[in-house]
Structure 1
Amino acid sequence: MSGDTAQIFSEFLGTLILVLLGDGVCAAVNLKKSKAEASGWIVIAMGWATAVTIAVYASSFMGPAHLNPAVTIGMAIAGNIGWNLVVPFIIAQVLGGIVGAALVWLSYLPHWQETENQAAILGTFATGPAIRNYTANFITEVIGTIVLVFGLLAFTQHEFAAGVNPMVVGVLILAIGLSLGGSTGYAINPARDLGPRIAHQILPIANKGTSDWAYSWVPVIGPVVGAALAAGLYLAII
């Protein structure tokens, strides 16, 4: 597999694993008769942090393992990757999110029928606000993504021991989830939200209800704006 092809495939595979494990923990907590039902926010935050860590380990030997269109855009603005890779990376990431979400649906196949709460089912796939206020929700996603992308860029200025970097990224995700995630569910990643939301729309999920497309722009545009601001801040400092 050639260099660019391997990198693009790594974004698909890594995002697939990220969503499979990340939405998987949401399914475990949200769905009826799951052994982890109602185990809470700490479990979700830990699950997403470890999902990111494992996904980066599984894909970073082939490419940069952004697994996030906002990160890809931020890295391109900062000059860390070529702009020619941005669109292919984003397409691969969204497709990975769709496939990962479909695998979550299959993994918990009997539980959708047992779960009547449509919001809980959608929350397994995509993010939603605790209080719906589009301006406030957008600001939250911008702030969370600034922390994410600036943190990732700042990490490039440090020398970590071999193999440690994915764990540090996981700690960053955990910190964002615990501290800033309670408002919007901390998408901070357009592919993590859009891909699974598309899967929710198209899959024959029992009791699923609406995919809430009215909110869907927030976890897409907010992270992109946050990433651009973080990259600009980083360039202004270095």
Structure 2
Amino acid sequence: MSHEIHPATDAGQDRTGALPLRSYGPAARTAAEAVGSFVVVLTGLGVTMLNTQSGVPPTLAFGIALLAAMIAFGYISGGHFNPAVTLGSAIAGRTGWGSVLPYILAQLVGGLAAAGLLWLLLSANSQLTDVNGLFAAASNGFEEHSAAQFPLSSSFLAEAVCAAILVAVFLGATARHAGRSTAPFAVGLTYAALLTLLLPVTNGGLNPARSTASALFTGDWAPAQLWLFFAAPLVGAIIAGLVFRSFDAAGRKPASEPATAVGPATAAPPVAPDTDTVDAGSGTPAAAPAGPAAPAGSPDDARSFFDKGPGTTGRG
């Protein structure tokens, strides 16, 4: 995956050593989340409701759509397209908390827009007399609305565990030291595999935006069961986020760790002025106070390569 180098950085790198992305404003990042969610829900739900022949399985369609959306829009917003991923990323310290609510609202709007478009297309076909029934068949449910009649407790546990796995794969695959070009493939294929596992249990949820999109067009039972498909994925996201946050904390070296002398002491080179720090009175660059170098394994080192860059480094 190609990335633009921010022109204000030295040798294409910022002070954490991570390759930054071009700076996009909050509006652009939020819009990218909405468009990406639209693509995922439109493709996945469309194949689920219209693919009556032996073609691409709906679960694989969701995974491929997520993979494509991450490649197409991930460099702008981080490529979440799922409220659970956004929450887990924020808890892990990869996404600023100020972005969480706008991202989740954008994901819900994108999913609902996709479902609305599908409803219009299906309603225009005179041979389809029960469009709401098609949405109900594609919606997530438990107990009598589970394909294999799984109870509430089993459905909640399965959704939470699978969501934790999905968020963990996202956080691991998009970390700075991971293979950046393979991240969309890892996340998309994991999403498809987990949806296949959940198909007989809950009809494959994992994404509150996707669950909401189909449930609100059923006109039946689905909205009453929608709470589980918010609560369980978000619980799984919290677990995965806390686990990765603990990994990051455990990987840091103490800043006061003494260096081991291996030879005669040498004078430290002079510190160049920090040209990004401007003196408020004169408007000219002011030298930044010298301090210890950021230790390896710092939180910045573990930030998502998608979320890295100006405007997405913890301030939303």
| TM-score normalised according to structure 1 size | 0.83
Alignment of 1:16 onto 2:31: no
Quick check: which one's helix share is greater?
Answer: 1
Alignment of 1:122 onto 2:136: yes
Amino acid at match of 2:31: F
Map of 1:39 onto structure 2: 54
Map of 1:204 onto structure 2: none
Map of 1:34 onto structure 2: none
Distance 1:86 1:147, change over 3 A: same
Report which of the two structures shows the higher radius of gyration computed on alpha carbons.
2
Q: For the residues of structure 2 that align with 1:83 and 1:104, how far apart are their CA atoms?
A: 33
Per-residue CA distance 1:88-138 (angstroms, 9 max, x = gap): 1111110001101112223334458535496543133x3222225222211
Q: For the residues of structure 2 that align with 1:15 and 1:216, how far apart are their CA atoms?
A: 18
Give the alignment of 1:213-224 within 5 angstroms: 213-224=223-234
Map of 2:69 onto structure 1: 55
Map of 1:26 onto structure 2: 48
Amino acid at match of 2:83: P
Q: Is the 8 A contact 2:140 2:222 kept in 1?
A: no
Distance 1:112 1:234, change over 3 A: farther
Q: For the residues of structure 2 that align with 1:4 and 1:112, how far apart are their CA atoms?
A: 42
Give the alignment of 1:50-129 within 5 angstroms: 50-111=64-125, 113-114=127-128, 116=130, 119-124=133-138, 126-128=139-141, 129=146
Distance 1:214 1:237, change over 3 A: same
Q: Is the 8 A contact 1:115 1:121 kept in 2?
A: no
Q: Is the 8 A contact 1:188 1:223 kept in 2?
A: yes
Amino acid at match of 2:36: G
Q: Is the 8 A contact 1:112 1:121 kept in 2?
A: no
Map of 2:271 onto structure 1: none
Map of 1:234 onto structure 2: 244
User: Percent identity of the aligned residues?
Assistant: 30
The answer for unaligned runs of 5 or more in structure 2 is: 1-22, 249-316
Distance 1:112 1:153, change over 3 A: farther
Q: For the residues of structure 2 that align with 1:229 and 1:220, how far apart are their CA atoms?
A: 15
SS in 1 for 2:223: coil
Say how many residue pairs are matched. Answer: 220
Per-residue CA distance 1:147-199 (angstroms, 9 max, x = gap): 1011111213443254x32222211112212233321122111111113323x
Aligned-pair CA distance for 1:86: 0.6
Q: For the residues of structure 2 that align with 1:7 and 1:118, how far apart are their CA atoms?
A: 33
| TM-score normalised according to structure 2 size | 0.64
Q: Is the 8 A contact 1:11 1:93 kept in 2?
A: yes
Q: For the residues of structure 1 that align with 2:27 and 2:93, how far apart are their CA atoms?
A: 20
The answer for unaligned runs of 5 or more in structure 1 is: 30-36, 201-207
SS in 2 for 1:181: helix
Structure possessing the higher relative contact order (Cα contacts under 8 Å, 6 or more residues apart): 1
Map of 1:149 onto structure 2: 167
Alignment of 1:160 onto 2:210: no
Aligned-pair CA distance for 1:232: 1.4
Q: Is the 8 A contact 1:144 1:186 kept in 2?
A: no
- Higher mean C-alpha deviation, range 98-107 or range 111-120: 111-120
Distance 1:118 1:8, change over 3 A: closer
